[in-house]
Structure 1
Amino acid sequence: MANPRSGGGKTARFDLVNRAESMGARVWSTSAEQDAASLARRAVHEGAEVLGVAGGDGTVSAVAAVAFATDRPLLVVPAGTRNHFARDLGLDIRNPVSSLSAVTDGVLTHLDLGVVGPHVFVNNVSFGLYADALLDPGYREDKARTFASLAPDYLKGTQGVEADVDTPRGTVRFPQVVLVSNNPYHIATPRYLGRRFTLTSGLLGGIVLKGPTDTPPDLLRALRSQLLGQQPGPGPAGDAAIAWRAASITLHGRGQQLLHAGIDGEPVTLPLPVTCEARPGGLRVLLPRDRPGIPVEPVPGRPRAPRDH
């Protein structure tokens, strides 16, 4: 499956369709009529043994859901703008062609996956400012304007996540932001902020930004303290953020039944309570043998998690 619109047209610029077909792959491109998930299901119906996907994180996540449900290995070609999942796989996001080598000489490994209700996520589920931005009709065309229009209400505390979230430091009510990631993000140093050095810990990462305080918090300091198990410093910085690891993370309702969320950059609405869970080893991924980035640890013998939805 290839998304011709991802990454400003990377699929065409790198001639990925022709290159993949020359290696024996059959390629379908997404369109207004057929999205990546429906094409992946069609490929399975027609006997595909491996599901390859060229696109950004949203496209990759959609095909990963089908791969998980049908027990097919996933092959990722980074052809999006950010390529967060591909980057954390250690793939060369500057040269997506290099990932095609996995078609003929790949290494099969088992990686973790996150699930929330009927959905899966390879990167994260977000609640709050980012989730609301995704619902804005103009978000894709002007992301900066969208965030600028939404941020003031969050910073003032008049807007937040309409739910309570359980954390190791107690229940946080009406947080500004809740981010649940498939394996914890690195937040101890600015250089690798937001990276995941493993996708095989079997745990989710949770980050909660609490309500506003009189002084803007140093969020990086606060999160770093939590990740390293240190006592938070005095003042609002130490009280503003909580970061932890867990097999499951739950958000409870505050009088309403539905909650807006962003799953791997795509807007969804979820019924409360919302429970995110880790599926250790739940996704099989076919990787090229040579990967220039910081690679995930291959776990070829790890058992797959059961698919119960």
Structure 2
Amino acid sequence: MTNPRSGGGKTARYGLTQRAEDMDAQVWTTSVERDAASLARNAVQQGAQVLGVVGGDGTVSAVAAVAADTGRSLVVVPAGTRNHFARDLGLDLRDPGQALDALVDGEPAQVDLGMLGSRVFVNNVSFGMYADALLEPGYRDDKPRAFATVAPDYLKGRQWVEARVDTPWGTVEFPQAVLISNNPYHLATPRWLGRRFSLTTGQLGAIVLKRPAQAPPDLLRHLRDELRQHKRGADPPDEGIAVWSAPGITLHGDVRHLDAGLDGEAVRLPLPVLCAIRPGALRVLLPKDRPGIPPEYAARH
């Protein structure tokens, strides 16, 4: 399954369709009428034992859900903008076509999947500024403009998430932002901030930026300061950031729906929002020749 729109047209730019067909793979392309999940289900019905997906996290999560539910292996080819899941699988983002080698002699691995109710996410679900930016008209064509439109109210403390989040330190009401990830993000080293060096912990990662009584003049600087404090092992302050991991995380509140970003796709969710983890739910096939975990990180852990 290929998404020709992912990553500004990386599928065509890297010749990924031709490379897959040269390896005798049947290529199905998404369209307005045929989404990635329905194409994957059709492929299974026609006898496919391995599913491949060429695209970003949103496309990958749709096909991963079908692969996990039908017991098929998944080959991930990074052709999106950020490719968080593919990067954390250790794939080479500079040459997406190398991932196709897994079709020939792929090494199997079992990884976790995040669940948002019945929906799968391979990277994260977010609430707050990022989710609002996704809803801006023309977000895909001009992301900086979309963020510039929604950011001021968050940065000045005039906007927040209309929900409550249960944390190990109590309930946070109306946080500034909520980010729930499929396995925790690495936060201790600036160079690797936001990486996941394991997708098999059986835990969700949670980052909740609390809504301060008086908004700091620079919310982003406030977030960086709080992350540094968290790295030193301090407990979350009354006005700061809560970071933890758990097999399940719940958002609840009095509004009917929350806007969210689900693996980079805008969705509207009814409350309560229930997130969970499915340990080892997905079998992926990985090429033998791949960057993997950065060696300088592995040497320290």
Tell whether the structures are fold-level matches, with TM greater than 0.5: yes
| 1:73 shift after superposition | 1.1
Alignment map for 1:194-273 (pairs within 5 Å):
194-212=194-212, 213-214=215-216, 216=218, 217-226=221-230, 229-231=233-235, 239-253=239-253, 255-273=254-272
Shift of 1:227: 5.3
TM-score (norm 2): 0.91
Counterpart of 1:301 in structure 2 is: none
How many Å separate the matches in 1 of 2:271 and 2:133? 20
Question: Following the alignment from structure 2 to structure 1, what is the Cα–Cα distance between the partners of residues 225 and 211?
Answer: 17
How far 1:232 moved relative to its partner?
5.4
1:142 match? 142
Q: Letter of the 2:11 partner, please give it.
A: T
Mapping 1:50-69, distance limit 5 Å:
50-69=50-69
Tell me the CA shift for residue 32 of structure 1.
Answer: 2.0
Supply the distance in 2 between the matched residues of 1:24 and 1:218 (Cα, whole angstroms): 52
Report how far residue 41 of structure 1 moved: 1.0
SS at match of 1:24: coil
2:30 and 2:47 mapped to 1: Cα distance? 19
The within-5 A match list for 1:158-173 is 158-173=158-173
SS at match of 2:239: helix
| Alpha-carbon separation, structure 2, partners of 1:110 and 1:60 | 16
Aligned to 2:25: 25
Contact (CA 8 Å) 1:68, 1:282: kept in 2 or not? yes
Alpha-carbon distance in structure 1 between the residues aligned to 2:135 and 2:7 = 21
Contact kept? 2:156, 2:217, Cα under 8 Å = no
The answer as to whether partners of 1:223 and 1:242 remain within 8 angstroms in 2 is no
Conserved in 1, the CA contact under 8 Å of 2:36 and 2:59? Answer: yes
* Aligned match of 1:304: none
Shift of 1:63: 0.8
Residue 93 in 1 paired to residue 93 in 2? yes
Q: Deviations over 1:200-250 (max 9, x none)?
A: 1110000001114345453234224435633458xxxx7321111111110
- Tell me how many residue pairs correspond in the alignment: 290
Q: Work out whether residues 211 and 239 of structure 2, in 8 Å CA contact, stay in contact via their aligned partners in 1.
A: no
Q: Over residues 81-140 of structure 1, what are the superposed CA-to-partner deviations in whole Å (9 max), with x where a residue is unaligned? A: 211111111000000111111001001111011001121100000011111111122211
Structure 1 portions without partners, runs of 5+: 296-309
What is the alpha-carbon root mean square deviation over aligned residues? 1.7
**Which has the larger displacement, 209-218 or 44-53?**
209-218
Q: Secondary structure at the match of 1:11?
A: helix
The match for 1:42 is 42
In structure 2, what is the Cα distance between the partners aligned to 1:189 and 1:177?
Answer: 22
* Aligned-partner residue type, residue 173 of structure 2: R
CA drift of 1:156 comes to 2.6
- Which amino acid in 1 is paired with 2:289? D
Runs of 4+ in structure 1 off by over 2 angstroms are 155-158, 212-218, 223-233
Which residue does the alignment assign to 2:298?
Answer: none
How far 1:149 sits from its partner (Å)? 1.4
1:220 partner amino acid: R
- For residues 100 and 228 of structure 1, what CA distance do their matches in structure 2 show? 41
Instruction: Give 1:292's aligned residue.
Output: 291
Distance (Å, rounded) in 1 between the aligned partners of 2:204 and 2:137: 30
CA gap of 1:106–1:214, structure 2 versus 1, over 3 A, is closer
State the TM-score, normalized to the length of structure 1. Answer: 0.89
- Please list the CA deviations of residues 23-68 of structure 1 after superposition, one character each: whole Å capped at 9, or x if unmatched: 1211111122211111111111111101100111111111111112
Q: Is 1:6 paired with 2:11?
A: no
| Conservation of the 8 A alpha-carbon contact between 1:207 and 1:241 | yes
Gaps of 5+ in 2: 295-301
Specify the alignment match of 1:153 in structure 2: 153
What amino acid does structure 2 have at the position aligned with 1:136? E
Residue of structure 1 equivalent to 2:299? none
Alpha-carbon distance in 2 for matches of 1:227, 1:239: 16
Q: Distance in 2 between matches of 1:240 and 1:204?
A: 20
Is residue 156–residue 216 contact of structure 2 (8 Å, CA) maintained in 1? no
Q: Is the CA contact 2:216–2:222 (under 8 Å) kept in the aligned structure 1?
A: no
Question: Partners in 1 of 2:229 and 2:183 — Cα distance?
Answer: 18
Please name the residue that 2:276 is paired with: 277
In 1, distance between residues paired with 2:85 and 2:53?
A: 12
